Amino acid sequence: MNELILGAYTDRGGTRPENQDSVFSRALPPAPPPSQSRSPFSLFGGKNKEKHPRTAAPAPQVSLSAVCDGIGGLERGDLASGVVVREMDGWMNHLSGWVRTDGLETDVLFSHFRDAAEQWNTALIDTIKTYNIRSGTTLSAILCIGSVFGILHVGDSRVYRYRPTEGIGTKLLQLTEDESVYRVKDGKTRSYLENFVGRQEPLSFRFYTGTLLPGDMLFACTDGFYHHLTEQDAGGMYAAIAGGTAPEYAIADAVQLMISRGERDNLSASLIIFGGCVTENETGIAAADADPEVTMI
């Protein structure tokens, strides 16, 4: 049940001169197979030697997937998103040096995750000062520890859960809330972001936690990816991966579909499938409200 499928893809799109999105997807190497525990009596070979030594449960695998979208209207969004992704990679390198997944407490690692986001924000602010520019980026990052996930969210990129065992109309669930404000300018209503990585210290963010079922797919995506996204599109990505397509190619195919529908922004997504792909449920009716298993802290 520890099997993870990871993938990420980013595309400039057909109209923008540059790509201000950055993506990240990486898992820590799994812990070595746990050794069998033995009764102390087995050392002496007496009658009480265990006939069936106990085997420890498999260690949960740790993975991190994320998207960052440089803030439109500011300078060097590509630099801002790239700095945060670089800092993520450094954090994962740091974790690989001390984390033992066979004795891991999720609350401890989630605490480190939130602290790390503050450091990523500081690194970006330092870079902004160095270049003497106004810049920033959204951040939607998913840290999975076995079946438990934590989502760190800043801005208007999104995280969705696709659950293939649900019925049609209930499979796709948006887990995050967009941090957008709406104002009227020149007679038109426009959305703006007042919160993003690189804006201020300390970093203001939302943190969500929940639990995955085998076969669940979590994916973070930028607004260029989700503007025209449907449940059927998410199902197409899932079915392609289940059929043997590499995750990045499945995302790339979805990106081309969004572009064909008129999307003009950069498009990016990063995904995690927990426990491997499972058989789809093709029946069902529209779901009611949001999943109560997902909690915002």
pLDDT in tens, 25-41: 999 987 665 555 444 44
Q: Mean of the pLDDT values across residues 229-251? A: 98
Name, of 103-107, 228-232, 284-288, the range with top average pLDDT.
228-232
The two tokens of residue 238 are 């899932």
Please state the pTM of the whole predicted model: 0.87
Q: How far is CA 81 from the centre of its chain?
A: 15
H-only helix segments in the chain: 77-98, 106-131, 223-226, 231-242, 247-260
Structure confidence by residue, pLDDT tens digits, 174-212? 999 999 887 777 777 777 888 999 999 999 999 999 999
* Cα 218 from Cα 6, distance rounded (Å): 10
Nearest 5°: the CA angle 257, 259, 264 is: 155
* Cα 261 from Cα 228, distance rounded (Å): 7
Helix (H) or strand (E) holding 218: strand 217-221
Is residue 293's pLDDT more than 70?
no
Q: How many angstroms separate the first and last alpha carbons of the chain?
A: 27
Percent helix / strand / coil, the chain, rounded to 5? 30, 30, 45
* Cα 78 from Cα 82, distance rounded (Å): 6
The two tokens of residue 129 are 């000062």
- Give residue 38's pLDDT: 47
Domain 4-28+57-287 has CATH 3.60.40.10: yes
Q: Mean of the pLDDT values across residues 144-167? A: 96
List all residues 6 or more positions away from 105 whose beta carbon is below 8 Å from its beta carbon.
none
Q: In the chain, what are the domain boundaries?
A: 4-28+57-287
- Give residue 79's pLDDT: 97
